[in-house]
Amino acid sequence: MKTGLCVLIIVAVAVGCSTFSEKSTRVCEIERVLAQWKEAILADDLDRVLALYSEDLRSTEKDKPGLVEDLKSVLVRVKTHDGRIDIEDATITVDGNRASALPVTIGTRTGAITRRLDLERQNGQWQIVGMSKK
């Protein structure tokens, strides 16, 4: 019985996004971008993090160089203060070639921040175009 259940779970995970609608497929693509973003931050790899951001990066709070400096600061805090990133609770909303993921939480021993990530589908792939307060 347990073996059958394990096989069923493995098959369900392997099938993954391939059985869902186009919108669900887009949500799965965005989930992959979020997972790559999380992995790159936890690996302290600024180049991998920035590769997920669009050249059209924008924010109502800061200009692009300011956002890059914020990302550098996040990497340092995550690395030096036992950081964690929660993307699993994010609700992804897709509207055509635009999407948002909320809440995305970056936490350390000294506190946490919650943000919304805005994404756009550009040249066939989803890229982060903005990060703002919840």
Reference 54, options 64, 62, 40, 39; nearest CA is 64
What is the DSSP-derived secondary structure letter of residue 52? T
Domains of the chain (ranges, CATH numbers): 17-133 (3.10.450.50)
The confidence score (pLDDT) of residue 100 equals 97
Cβ proximity of 125 and 32 under 8 Å: no
The confidence score (pLDDT) of residue 52 equals 96
Residue 24, C-beta contacts closer than 8 angstroms, at least 6 positions apart: 17
Q: Give the global pTM.
A: 0.80
Reference 73, options 106, 103, 102; nearest CA is 106
Q: What is the pLDDT along the chain (134 residues), one digit of tens a residue?
A: 444 544 444 444 445 555 556 668 999 999 999 999 999 999 999 999 999 999 888 776 777 788 889 889 999 999 999 899 999 999 999 999 999 999 999 998 889 999 999 999 999 999 999 988 86
The confidence score (pLDDT) of residue 21 equals 65
The confidence score (pLDDT) of residue 20 equals 54
The confidence score (pLDDT) of residue 61 equals 74
Distance CA 36, CA 59 (A): 21
The confidence score (pLDDT) of residue 26 equals 93
The confidence score (pLDDT) of residue 6 equals 41
SS (H, E, C) 77-125: HHHHCCCEEECCCCEEEEECCEEEEEEEEEEECCEEEEEEEEEEEECCE
